């Protein structure tokens, strides 16, 4: 459920008509709903009630300071994957002891940054990383709390580019080698083992892969405890999927996922962390765009929008489906026509949808891409020297620009000219 609904024939974000935001900030723009962000965070928090837990929002999904502050105010922790994300989380007021650091390529600088700023734990992904972590921590006279990310060799049954839990993926250490690697970790001076981490992929629409992975983690917990390690925290990753095509998708709910966690690892008495990104931010955001032209092609009609692949890359990159709806509600029974919906970027890949059935539209009409709140604005680029689109946050009947559209001068002035030119 989200808070983007038609009212009196117009699409609203909470209590604000999208047309009003468009008139004020111009198109395209991203808009997020505070009530939806909060609701989704709470669904996870409530799903884990009865277990000691922390929901660490995977901020790679949408990392605007205003979004982070909204979630942090509810008690959210953050899952970060770079020094930049760590700095963003701290700038939004998230204390270090609520930040977990994931990712396969943490540098010495990033490790030192997190150790000096404060960190809940590092999710270690390899033996060389573990060695560096121990070295940097020892040099700084501190101990780094860690989990080790295990790769359970489970098929997440999601798009190949976002599956991470198979042995051919670059993530984690093979679960079969876990005992050996934990023994090595225990012998390193700068490290304190806290627990185990697992994350098998993103946009999972079925609970079974989670169940397989979490059962393996439960078994490993018992083995590692028998080996003499303290395993008091399990980070179970993110990955729960959202309905992108609302007419025919109904992925499991956070409550089902919470029940699964209790069933598979609840008996171990560990503190539970989860790292959801998409489910918190995805349906809390839209990309709103305007039709520039309707172009008649050979046997097809193109809807040419002012938004493009550089603004929302998911369709080009993952063949992803986003529901695209007109901002003025079509009357019931209105005839639908097939459109190829494209952007102005000079690539054929700049196609959002082919043969998409839509009510007839014309130049100047506004459309909204649903489920664009996660992996939307954060993956945008300035390709074709198109400015990053602004982000807007709505709360009730208020809205605020939370990142402004840069001017061309601002964009150009980031380049510097060598003295010989």
Nearest distance from C-beta of residue 100 to ligand LLP, angstroms: 9
Q: Which two tokens stand for residue 265?
A: 């690892």
Q: Which is nearer to ligand LLP, 145 or 238 (CB)?
A: 238
d(CA 389, CA 376): 10
Report in angstroms how near the CB of residue 58 gets to ligand LLP at its nearest: 3
Inter-residue contact 373 to 302 (CB < 8 Å): no
Helix, strand, coil in percent for the chain, rounding step 5: 35, 25, 40
3-state secondary structure of 190: coil
How far apart, in whole angstroms, are the C-alpha atoms of residue 274 and residue 110? 22
Q: How far is the C-alpha of 206 from the C-alpha of 208, rounded, in Å?
A: 6
Q: How far is the CB of 281 from ligand LLP (least distance, A)?
A: 8
Q: Which residues, 6 or more positions from 405, have their beta carbon under 8 angstroms from its beta carbon?
A: 25, 26, 29, 387, 388, 389, 390
* Rounded CA separation 131/187 (Å): 11
Angle at 44 between CA 42 and CA 49, to 5 degrees: 90
- Min dist CB 61 to ligand LLP, Å, is 5
Rounded to a whole number of angstroms, the minimum distance from the CB of residue 141 to ligand LLP is 29
Catalytic residues: 346
> Which residues of this protein are in contact with ligand LLP, per CB under 6 A?
58, 61, 79, 102, 162, 199, 202-203, 237-239, 275-279, 314, 318, 374-375
- Considering the complex, state which of residue 120 and residue 395 has its C-beta at the smaller distance from ligand LLP: 120
Shortest distance in whole angstroms from residue 295 CB to ligand LLP? 28
Nearer to ligand LLP, 47 or 58 (CB): 58
Nearer to ligand LLP, 4 or 101 (CB): 101
DSSP 56-92: EEEGGG---HHHHHHHHTTT-EEEE-SHHHHHHHHHT
Q: Read off the DSSP letter of residue 330.
A: P
- Phi, psi for 376 (deg, rounded to 5): -105, -90
Alpha-carbon torsion (345, 346, 352, 353), positive or negative: positive
Please identify, using beta-carbon distances, which residue of 58 and 327 lies nearer to ligand LLP.
Answer: 58
Select 188 or 242, whichever has its Cβ closest to ligand LLP.
242
Where helices occur in 252-313 by DSSP H, the ranges are 254-265, 278-281
């Amino acid at each position: 459920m989200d808070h983007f609904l038609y009212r009196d024939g117009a699409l609203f974000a909470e209590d604000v008509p999208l047309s009003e935001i468009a008139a004020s900030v111009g198109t395209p723009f991203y808009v997020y709903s505070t009530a939806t962000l909060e609701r989704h965070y709470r669904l996870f928090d409530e799903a884990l009630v009865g277990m000691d837990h922390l929901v660490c929002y995977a901020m790679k999904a949408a990392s605007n300071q205003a979004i982070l502050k909204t979630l942090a105010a509810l008690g959210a922790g953050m899952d970060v994957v770079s020094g930049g994300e760590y700095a963003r989380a701290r700038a939004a007021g998230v204390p270090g002891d609520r930040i977990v650091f994931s990712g396969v390529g943490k540098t010495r600088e990033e490790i030192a940054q997190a150790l000096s700023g404060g960190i809940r734990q590092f999710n270690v992904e390899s033996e060389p990383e573990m060695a560096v972590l121990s070295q940097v921590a020892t040099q700084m006279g501190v101990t780094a709390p860690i989990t080790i990310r295990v790769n359970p060799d489970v098929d997440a049954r999601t798009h190949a580019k976002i599956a991470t839990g198979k042995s051919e993926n670059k993530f984690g250490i093979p679960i079969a080698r876990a005992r050996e690697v934990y023994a090595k970790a225990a012998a390193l001076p700068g490290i304190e083992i806290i627990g185990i981490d697992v994350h098998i992929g993103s946009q999972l629409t079925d609970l079974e892969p989670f169940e397989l992975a979490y059962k393996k983690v439960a078994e490993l917990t018992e083995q590692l405890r028998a080996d003499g390690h303290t395993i008091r925290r399990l980070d179970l990753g993110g990955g729960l999927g959202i309905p992108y095509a609302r007419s025919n998708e109904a992925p499991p709910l956070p409550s089902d996922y919470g029940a699964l966690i209790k069933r598979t690892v609840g008996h171990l008495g560990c503190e539970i962390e989860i790292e959801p990104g998409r489910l918190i931010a995805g349906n809390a955001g839209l990309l709103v765009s305007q039709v520039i032209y309707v172009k008649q092609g050979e046997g097809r009609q193109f809807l040419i929008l002012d938004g493009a692949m550089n603004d929302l890359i998911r369709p080009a990159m993952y063949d992803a489906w986003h529901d695209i709806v007109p901002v003025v509600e079509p009357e019931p029974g209105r005839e639908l026509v097939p459109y190829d919906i494209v952007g102005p970027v000079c690539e054929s890949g700049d196609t959002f949808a082919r043969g998409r059935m839509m009510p007839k539209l014309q130049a100047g009409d506004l459309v909204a891409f649903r489920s664009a709140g996660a992996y939307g604005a954060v993956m945008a680029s300035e390709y074709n020297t198109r400015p990053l689109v602004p982000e807007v946050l709505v709360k009730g009947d208020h809205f605020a620009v939370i990142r402004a559209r840069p001017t061309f001068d601002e964009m150009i002035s980031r380049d510097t000219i060598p003295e010989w030119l």
